[in-house]
Amino acid sequence: MSFFQRNRQKLIDAGIDPERLPPGQYHTDRFPVLHVGDVPHIERADYRLSVFGNVANPVTLTFADLEALGPVELTFDIHCVTKWSRFDTTWKGVRFRDVVALAQPAATVAYVIEHAAHGYTTNLPLADCLRDDVLIAWEHGREPLEAVHGGPVRMVVPHLYFWKSAKWLEGIELSDTDQAGFWEQNGYHSYGDPFREQRFWGD
């Protein structure tokens, strides 16, 4: 039996639905850390998030502004392109769509580019970001989000590979056209659906 088959069998033995594991992924209880550049240390009091692009009302929000939008707590599975998946991770934050509504995007906006520390960017369709479970998050596992995992504030887009969830989120750009982000320019798939195994260009 291969590592992947044994990993899947362990889920079945534990009474967990193995169909939650996308093709080519293994389940782990660990929370691996993956990013480019040094971990920035930003206080909540100093945190700012800009929402800009093709919008009627560009805004820069503080941490308190985000909290005032009405936080929600959600639990979902996450999947990294390097093949690990974690189940039932709990996050607190505000819905992306509630943040973006403040900026009044033009009707022609179809893409979002997340901007983060060290110039990290990642792109995805606006429609994906408007889902119920897409969060701008500041708690994980009921604790303040650790700096290594993107604290004080990161994106969480659970239905796409985890590179689409920018840590140390600094800006949200609303664009009529798609713009390949950091990994997307370097061989990763432009959409990145784990269940269709869209890891790399051409998948």
Ligand X SMILES: Nc1nc2c(c(=O)[nH]1)N[C@H]1C(S)=C(S)[C@@H](COP(=O)(O)O)O[C@H]1N2
By CB under 6 A, residue 163 contacts ligand X: yes
Residue 138 touches ligand X, criterion: CB under 6 A: no
Q: How far is the CB of 147 from ligand X (least distance, A)?
A: 10
Residues 6+ apart with CB under 8 A from 46: none
Q: Which position has the token pair 């690990």?
A: 84
**Residue 49 interacts with ligand X (CB under 6 A): yes or no:** no
- The reply to whether 166 sits near ligand X by the rule CB under 6 A is yes
- From the list 13-21, 94-102, 129-137, 156-164, the region that binds Mo ion by CB under 5 A is 156-164
When binding is defined by CB under 5 A, the residue of 16, 39, 80, 130 that contacts Mo ion is 80
Among 34, 68, 106, 127, binds ligand X (CB under 6 A): 34
165 lies in the binding site for ligand X (CB under 6 A) = yes
110 binds Mo ion (CB under 5 A): no
Q: What residue ranges bind ligand X (CB under 6 A)?
A: 31-36, 80, 116-117, 120, 149-150, 162-163, 165-168
